[in-house]
Amino acid sequence: MPHVAPASSTHPKASGVPIQIPSLSHPSPVQLSLVIPTYNEASSIGSLIRQLCAHLDAILPGAYELIVVDDNSPDYTAKLAQELQEEFPQLKVICRQGERGLATAVLRGWQVARGEVLGVMDGDLQHPPEIVLKLWPLMQRGADLVVGSRYVESGGVSHWNLGRRLVSRGAQAIGLVLLPGVFRRVSDPLSGLFLVRRQAIAGIPLSPKGYKLLIEVLARGRVTTIAEVGYIFQERQNGESKIQLQTCLQYLHHLIHLRFSLGQVGSFLRFSTVGLSGTVVDMVLLYLLHDPDNLGWDLITSKLIASEVAILNNFLWNDLWTFRHVTRLQPGLLNRLKRLVKFNVICLIGLFLNSSLVILLTERLGIHYLLANLIAIGIVVFWNFYLNSKLSWKSAEVKLDPRGDKS
């Protein structure tokens, strides 16, 4: 009996609803689940499945599954795929009704997948099936993400004309401007061919729009170790590309959405907001310690204590909130302590600048000490943000060389 999962109403249909991939509740015999999204790929699906099974049987016998996710193609791709299930029991077929979209189709496949590693490959043979033989070993060597790339050694495109190359490079350039932190991580962030460790994305709400799932994974996933494998993007032999103007608009929408939700614009704003909370802590404490109506301690002691408490307050919020996109990749108490030490040193130097400014402004210019404090904090926040984003919360990324060791 062929295994066909019809579209089910428990899955979100609206494209805007974030989708989550579950963790595996118990160990699975399946190591790799490779999803093949299809829309009108009847002419290539048979050949692709055959080739993939032949290659994967050689390296992962009995430990992989292929999942075709078809959007009810009028050319009966799903039916053809179902007919292959008798010969290839490791093949699942999902036929979505009333839904379209490459990235959400892939996520639907990953939602039902049982593998520790999740992957995607186009259904039109433009990704050479034998590339799995190069992708998988890198996963075994510990990568969180292995990307098939057109832009590294032994990668390329077959016979693209100048126009097509320009569009592809242009799309990448826009991405680099809008999301440099995401697009600089790999040479081919628009690739539709990659494997990712389930744990890197499990439980994280993903909201891709249109085609480009990899940028979503790079932007939101817990991905630290990345490897790239060159491949030649083949000419389409059958059928046609589904890219339309709408796909390009979805791409832009996706980038802008990611830009805002990741808060790369936001990290300075968040840092400043946290700084503001620290300023309140600092001012209130300074007032309590230094003001003659309260403890009446000397200015320098009061300022040092007030500032150190503010530094601790700021560290906590920055670590949990401002730079959470960095800290989630570097969990653990030891990492947090390292960040705290760096942050504290940078801020103490900042505090020295701050205090010097306060003294200068109060003693030389006769400005009220609270106002002087406010001015000094305003100046030192830039120093603090710049150095801390470069040193305390820098992203720790490992590149896995396809031939050698970690670099």
Binding status of residue 124 toward Mn ion by CB under 5 A: yes
DSSP 8-state symbol, 20: -
Instruction: Work out which of 126, 302, 362, 384 binds Mn ion, going by CB under 5 A.
Output: 126
Interface positions, 11-40, toward ligand GDD (CB under 6 A):
37-39
Among 199, 201, 193, residue whose Cα is nearest residue 135: 193
Residue with tokens 């996520």: 107
- Cβ 255 vs Cβ 175: under 8 Å: yes
Binding status of residue 105 toward ligand GDD by CB under 6 A: yes
Tokens linked to 178 = 């809008």
8 versus 237: smaller Cβ distance to Mn ion: 237
A 10 A CB-CB count for 191 gives 23
- What's the rounded Cα separation, in Å, for the pair 217 and 213? 6
124 versus 319: smaller Cβ distance to ligand GDD: 124
Binding status of residue 175 toward ligand GDD by CB under 6 A: no
Tokens linked to 25 = 């509740």
122 versus 282: smaller Cβ distance to Mn ion: 122
Taking the alpha carbons at both ends of the chain, their separation in whole angstroms is 48
77 versus 318: smaller Cβ distance to Mn ion: 77
Interface positions, 206-265, toward ligand GDD (CB under 6 A):
211, 233, 241-243
Binding status of residue 41 toward Mn ion by CB under 5 A: no
Give least dist CB 231 to ligand GDD, A: 9
Strands, E assignment, 294-395: none
Part of the chain binding ligand GDD (CB under 6 A), chosen from 52-60, 117-125, 216-224, 316-324: 117-125
71 versus 319: smaller Cβ distance to ligand GDD: 71
Enumerate helices (H) and strands (E) in the chain, giving the number of each: 14, 11
123 versus 189: smaller Cβ distance to Mn ion: 123
Binding status of residue 149 toward ligand GDD by CB under 6 A: no
- Cβ 326 vs Cβ 393: under 8 Å: yes
- Cβ 314 vs Cβ 320: under 8 Å: no
Pairing of strands 145-149, 91-95: unpaired
Q: Binding-site residue total for ligand GDD (CB under 6 A)?
A: 24
Interface positions, 57-96, toward ligand GDD (CB under 6 A):
69-71
- Name which of ligand GDD, Mn ion, none residue 38 binds, using a CB cut-off of 5 to 8 Å depending on partner kind: ligand GDD
240 versus 405: smaller Cβ distance to Mn ion: 240
**String marking each residue 186-205 x if it binds ligand GDD according to CB under 6 A:** ----xxxx------------
Binding status of residue 38 toward Mn ion by CB under 5 A: no
- What's the rounded Cα separation, in Å, for the pair 236 and 230? 18
Binding status of residue 123 toward ligand GDD by CB under 6 A: yes
- What's the rounded Cα separation, in Å, for the pair 207 and 204? 10
DSSP character string of 56-96: HHHHSTTSEEEEEEE---TT-HHHHHHHTTTT-TTEEEEE-
Interface contacts to Mn ion, rule CB under 5 A: 124, 126
Interface contacts to ligand GDD, rule CB under 6 A: 37-39, 41, 69-71, 100-102, 105, 122-124, 126, 190-193, 211, 233, 241-243
